[in-house]
Amino acid sequence: MLFSGTAFKLLRDNDILDLCFDSSDRPVNVFNREALSEFGKVLDVIEQQSDVAGLVLRSSKGVFIAGADITEFLGYFAAPDEVLATMLVDVNAMFNRFEELPFPTVAAINGEAQGGGFEICLACDFRVAAPTARMGLPEVKLGIMPGWGGSVRLPRLIGVDNAVEWMCSGASKRAEAALKDGAIDAVVHDGHVRQAAIGIVEQVRSGKLSTEERRAVKSSPLPLSELELTMAIESARGVVGAKAGPHYPAPMTIIDTVAAHATLGRDAALPLESAAFVRLAKTDVAESLVGIFLNDQALKRLARKQGSEALPVKRSAVLGAGIMGGGVAYQSASNGVPIIMKDIRDEALSAGLDEAGKLLKKQISRGKLKPEGMADVLNAIQPALSYGEFGSVDLVVEAVVENPGIKMAVLAEVEAQVGQDTIITTNTSTISVDLLSSALQRPQNFCGMHFFNPVHRMPLVEVIRAKSSSEKAIATTVAYAQAMRKTPIVVNDCPGFLVNRILFAYFGGFTRLVADGADFVAIDKALERFGWPMGPAYLLDVVGLDTGKHAAGVMAEGFPDRMGSDGKTIIDALYEAERLGQKNGKGFYRYETDSKGRAQKLPDPAVASVIGSVQSAPVDMPADDMVDRLMIPMCIEAARCLEDHIVDNAYEVDMGLVYGVGFPPFRGGALHHVDKMGLADFCARADQFADLGPLYHPTETMRDMAGSGGTYYTKSSAATGDSA
């Protein structure tokens, strides 16, 4: 052994050097400070070796290298520019030394090579990968860009168009796709990657492959005429600019940086990349998106803990084959848990299966599923009109109509059909799970399992703890949600649970704003500019005004002081006018189906008279006021959920909003948003709207925190995803 550290091991096998990334103290290999410093030391040893034919870079873990250590990012981003710039210069100097070794280097990629983990592969002369390996430059998803030479080497290797697509999408590419683009040199069987890498060294030795040619390509300016470069960059700007929108600066910065250094050699290009990286790292967007990554990891850790005592779910059942029930059946079956889908109507079962079929066909057309896989999934959904085989299921999701009486009757009925240990869950969005548990003989085996619509797309599942729920019931439901590739958040029972409770405070702000004369189209525009995927009126149309009215009623009953209303709201008025939203083609807007079968949103003059019935004279209002009149109630309700222990961590609140209702990720969540404003400024702004009622009154705890400079996240704990 020539070198043995906590991250790297270097062995010599005759004239081949074997450099293995083997983090002894981490679940995956990451370039943290220690690993980077060790890389410098191992390079010193490598450079001292003589009579070497080549070097193979490999990993001892299933994940090849996951890139830079993201848990260190917020510390770096908060440091002065020079600290971050120095880190980049130092790493680039090491990667350049590695690239200039006097013998060929080959990366043997056996698993995920992401970010800096792929950039070190790009610094190698050759790359071979297992068919199961994946690779990419996902930095854009963190609001930043490759910082260790990725934006310089990748375009020189695979061309501007491909490289921009890789970097601006942040996509993780399968080995075959990477080979097709020219990012790697070969795909070989799993288990043969190291041997194949040694084979490449042999080919260089025998003169079949040239290291010099490779190095020349990566270190020279791009071989494009001015016109070719302009065309490539402008078409990339057109495609990427439209997709990225105004809130995410990283994709356009990537393109601008490639354009700026395309005519330069490697050594002159790298400082441009570093400067752009530092600029992006200093943005609030990067801070929020890194926070989201860390929060997501923290949620996963929490869910692993909460699900550790789970009973196995080998087979499940869903009651109701409507939109939600059908979605649950599809999601379970397509993730390997066979499911019985029961309904009382044959037509409903057929519709549920048809819907699953449509989703599967989409997967096939996108190349994500093989045609034979479709039959497997459909066969794993067993339609049923009776309780026949319910005795053998481990977990039931009740997804019948949102009516307490009907749900209680169905729950009692199914309990009589299942085993003593079967867990029964209810997919309710508004009904108290404590109330529903009273229908059961074994309430300890019961809890809520609230999916969001459309089930296949929305990542969140709220697991709602009733007072009677056992830890086994919670754990099993959490684990089942994870098996379905959903992100579970365990919440305590209250009207609206976590996400709808906060969302309806926002809708409360909206209905009051409309009543006070603001134009709902202008409100939608203001909130969309703020970053919401759709404004509140459009969102209510998608949710359905009947559902909205029902839920608003539940919230008004639960929190009459702040969510009750004195008179008729715009939601009531639209409901009474039978404008139910997208489901019947008219709500705030009018909807027509386009040639692809998608609902097109159109203005509808007919809605004016309905609005007129609940609105005082129309008024113009600054967009910032409109945004705050919705966001302040939302943020205060988010704080209340934490104070009321609906969940215990700020990251659960914020991720619930991001995953459940599409809160703009670049703003990090409601509590992160308050932290960014500063609690004192937030309370001062809320006080400007104090006359509007309790929805705008910060809690005592918020005021105390404002006084003492408190925050929901602390800088150090944000790095672990934990709340202050």
Q: Is 68 in the site for ligand T1G (CB under 6 A)?
A: yes
Least distance from C-beta 168 to ligand T1G, angstroms?
Answer: 14
How many C-beta neighbours within 10 Å does residue 370 have?
10
Residue 79 in contact with ligand T1G, rule: CB under 6 A:
no
Count CB neighbours of 108 within 10 A.
Answer: 29
Least Cα distance to 147 among 159, 137, 132, 158 occurs for: 137
CB of 621 to ligand T1G, least distance (A): 41
CB of 84 to ligand T1G, least distance (A): 10
Quick check: 295 and 373 in contact, CB under 8 A? no
- Shortest distance, position 24 Cβ to ligand T1G, whole Å: 14
Minimum CB distance to ligand T1G, residue 258 (Å): 14
x-or-dash string of contact with ligand T1G, 678-697, rule CB under 6 A: --------------------
Cβ proximity of 269 and 146 under 8 Å = no
**Least distance to ligand T1G from the beta carbon of 142, Å?**
6
Kindly name the residue from 189, 247, 261, 450 that is annotated as catalytic.
Answer: 450
- Among the listed ranges 1-9, 140-148, 411-419, 677-685, the one in contact with ligand T1G (CB under 6 A) is 140-148
Pick from 104, 116, 352, 535 the residue near ligand T1G by CB under 6 A: 116
147 binds ligand T1G (CB under 6 A): yes
Which are the contacts of 432, defined by CB distance < 8 A and separation ≥ 6? 493, 495
673: annotated active-site residue: no
Query: Which residues have C-beta within 8 Å of that of residue 350, sequence separation ≥ 6?
Result: 383
Which range, of 35-43, 62-70, 233-241, 319-327, touches ligand T1G by CB under 6 A?
Answer: 62-70
Q: Please give the helix or strand (H or E) that residue 511 lies within, else none.
A: helix 499-515
- Best CA proximity match to 289, nearest among 179, 186, 143, 429: 143
Residue 572, classed as helix, strand or coil, is helix
301 counts as binding ligand T1G under rule CB under 6 A: yes
Given 148, 507, 589, 689, the residue binding ligand T1G (CB under 6 A): 148
What is the secondary structure of 93-113 as a DSSP string?
HHHHHHHT-SS-EEEEE-SEE
Choose the binding region for ligand T1G from 65-73, 160-168, 349-357, 652-660 (rule: CB under 6 A). Answer: 65-73
Q: Does 722 bind ligand T1G (CB under 6 A)?
A: no
CB 112, min distance to ligand T1G, A: 4
Structure tokens at 311: 């009973």
Using CB under 6 A, pick the residue from 300, 529, 550, 685 that binds ligand T1G: 300
Interaction with ligand T1G in 10-49: which residues (CB under 6 A)?
Answer: 27-28, 30
- Helix H or strand E encompassing 476: helix 471-483
Decide: 490 and 323 in contact? Cβ < 8 Å.
no
Give the residue closest to ligand T1G by C-beta: 115
Mark the segment that binds ligand T1G (CB under 6 A) among 101-109, 146-154, 493-501, 622-630.
146-154
State the Cα torsion 174-175-177-182 to the nearest 10°. 140
By beta-carbon proximity to ligand T1G, the closer residue of 584 and 716 is 716
CB nearer to ligand T1G: pick between 645 and 715: 715
Give which of 439, 427, 500, 438 is closest to 464, Cα–Cα.
427
641, 647, 650, 653 alpha-carbon torsion, rounded to 10°: -70
Mask: binding to ligand T1G, 270-299, rule CB under 6 A, as x and -? ---------------------------x--
CA angle 542, 240, 123 (to 5 degrees): 130
First to last CA, the chain: 45
Contacts with ligand T1G, 165-194, as mask; x by CB under 6 A: ------------------------------
119 and 96 Cβ atoms separated by less than 8 Å: no
The owner of tokens 């995410």 is 248
By the rule CB under 6 A, 119 interacts with ligand T1G: yes
Alpha-helical segments (H) within 584-622 = 607-612
Shortest Å, Cβ 301 to ligand T1G: 5
Q: Max Cα separation, the chain?
A: 88
Q: Which residues bind ligand T1G (CB under 6 A)?
A: 27-28, 30, 63, 66-71, 112, 114-116, 119, 138-139, 144, 146-148, 150, 297, 300-301
- Give catalytic residue positions: 450
